[in-house]
Amino acid sequence: DTQADSLGEAHKMSPAEELYMGVGRELPAALLAFLLGGVLGGVYEVFRTPRAASRHPAAAVFAEDIIFCLIFAVSYYSFSVQVTMGIMRLYSLVLMLLGFFAYLWTLGRAVSKIADTIIRGGRIAADFLGKMFKKATEHLYTMPLFDKSSKKAD
């Protein structure tokens, strides 16, 4: 809580001085906050992609959103402790949110399109396999082994 001045004497730091990180530390912290927001956008994809694949009940969507918000909050708290000297700074939160939305509006759109294509392809493949299975079982039931009319003739 004390800092030596140029004369070698110690003086008490003001609260503003204690909060000051300096531009040399704040700019990297700001960049890290933005990047962390982008990473959290990727984490959100883990929740968003299954929603695109199938319908989720409203309660499940609500629970997933709460879980994601908790992950975001813990990330912000951890960032504040590790990077900004334990002080929750508004610019860190704003830059994390900007990084999150930047991911969603850029890379997230591309990831969603790829995921949608994969999901659509999976549905087409599942429909095709289901039709093939249905035809195969219908064919099996017409064979003499399963034909009920051939047993009556015996």
Instruction: List the structure tokens of 128.
Output: 């095709």
pLDDT in tens, 61-113: 999 999 999 999 999 999 999 988 788 888 999 999 999 999 999 998 888 88
Instruction: List the structure tokens of 37.
Output: 């927001």
Give yes or no for residue 22 having a pLDDT over 50: yes
Token pair 């759109």 is found at 109
Higher pLDDT, 122 or 30: 30
The three-state (H, E, C) secondary structure of 35-70, written as one string: HHHHHHHHHHHHHHHHHHHCCCCHHHHHHHHHHHHH
Helices (H), 8-146: 15-19, 23-53, 58-82, 90-105, 107-141
pTM, entire model: 0.65
